[in-house]
Amino acid sequence: EVQLVQSGAEVKKPGESLRISCKGSGYSFTNYWIGWVRQMPGKGLEWMGIIYPGDSDTRYSPSFQGQVTMSADKYISSAYLRWSSLKASDTAMYYCARLRGATTLRYFDYWGQGTLVTVSS
């Protein structure tokens, strides 16, 4: 069974750094792109970017380029999303999801349960 399990909720202060994780199981983690999707409170889904765990190739949405850093550790089947200096506007639910497609980004077939990040002074 394909599963993506994300790390737990976080409460941080503005300016702090943070890394959240997404661990895959039930499939060959290195052979599928992993995407990150933001959902701000009461709002819709926003695609942030994707990473290929096999070689850590990354592609960022223009809206999130430079705002976050994606990484992966293929040896422990985990992908990460990192902020170096959080802002209150980073408060949101963040989902990881398995992407189908590579040269064309087709669809996300499995999703993690989400990680709620709250940034407040």
Partner 1 sequence: QSALTQPPSASGSPGQSVTISCTGTSSDVGGYNYVSWYQQHPGKAPKLMIYEVSKRPSGVPDRFSASKSGKTASLTVSGLQAEDEADYYCSSYGGNNNLVFGGGTKLTVL
Planar angle of CA 44, 53, 39, nearest 5 degrees: 10
24 is a contact residue toward partner 1 (CB under 8 A):
no
C-alpha span between 118 and 121 (Å, rounded): 10
Quote the strand ranges of the chain, DSSP E: 3-6, 10-12, 18-25, 33-39, 45-52, 57-60, 69-73, 78-83, 92-100, 107-111, 115-119
Q: Which of residues 28-47 bind partner 1 (CB under 8 A)?
A: 35, 37, 44-47
Q: How many residues bind partner 1 (CB under 8 A)?
A: 24
Is the CB of 16 or the CB of 109 nearer to partner 1?
109
Site string for partner 1, 45-64 (x = CB under 8 A): xxx-----------x-xx--
Binding residues vs partner 1 (CB under 8 A): 35, 37, 44-47, 59, 61-62, 95, 97, 100-101, 104-114
